[in-house]
Amino acid sequence: MDRDHAKPERLPAEGQEQSNQRTNPGKPSLRRRLLTDAAWLLACVLAVVLLRMFVFGAYVIPSESMEPTLNVGDRVVASKLQPRLRGVQRGDIVIFHDPDRWLNTGPGDDYLIKRVIGVAGDHVSADGSGSVVVNGKPLNESSYIMPGAVPSQIPFSVKVRPGCIFVMGDNRSNSADSRFHMSDANGGQVPLGRVEAIANWTYWPLDRLGAIHRPGEIFAGL
């Protein structure tokens, strides 16, 4: 027998070859993996953008006007759905767009944050030395305004228009709020269409982490 004669190679049976193909599938190509990862990343970014646009927002407190409730530099989370689902209520702390050039700032830097004192139909007043009065009821605001502060040293009397709110800062002696803009086109009131969100939580600094108190009991029965 010719020892140099090559023996024919045994080929696997057809069924065995197909079985090997099924049990050893090829790995996804690098390009496919990169495309999959990019799609997931894009979906996550899009989800965050949509949440920020329509569900919640994060805001930095720029001034002392809401002390002692909110301090300069505090970071708050605010719901953009609440104003549309349940409406804006007395006692809420709202973030809103400058309604009538209250701020001397450029475009895109026009957010303010204040507490809602009156809603549509309310009569809000103060004599300059005592309590703020809503619909004939003096408000006990000691739980959120500056300790020892007069609720309003500025006398005023106003009826809140339909579709508007009357707002004041908790730091009454250092807040250019509705009281200071009654000669403006909106009479110092904020149209509800300008309200961006309702502040719910402080998340920074960590020692101030927690829910923002809404004193609903103070406004009960109005």
- pLDDT for 192-215, tens place per residue? 999 999 999 999 999 999 999 888
Q: Cα–Cα distance between 26 and 32 in angstroms, integer?
A: 12
Question: Taking the model in full, what pTM does it have?
Answer: 0.77
SS3 for 109? coil
CB 96, CB 195: distance < 8 Å: yes
* pLDDT for res 1: 46
Per the DSSP assignment, residues forming a β-bridge with 138 are 133
Least confident of 21-25, 61-65, 159-163: 21-25
* 95 has pLDDT over 60: yes
CB 130, CB 215: distance < 8 Å: no
* pLDDT for res 4: 47
CB 94, CB 165: distance < 8 Å: yes
- Top-level CATH class of 56-219? mainly beta
User: Region 167-189: what's the mean pLDDT?
Assistant: 95
> Where does residue 6 rank: exposed (0-12), middle (13-18), buried (19+ CB within 10 A)?
exposed
* 179 has pLDDT over 50: yes
- Reading the block at residue 121, the tokens are 């139909």
Q: Cα–Cα distance between 104 and 161 in angstroms, integer?
A: 25
Which has the higher per-residue pLDDT, 69 or 43? 69
pLDDT confidence tier of residue 112, bands split at 50, 70 and 90? very high
DSSP category for residue 99: S
Active site residues: 65, 114
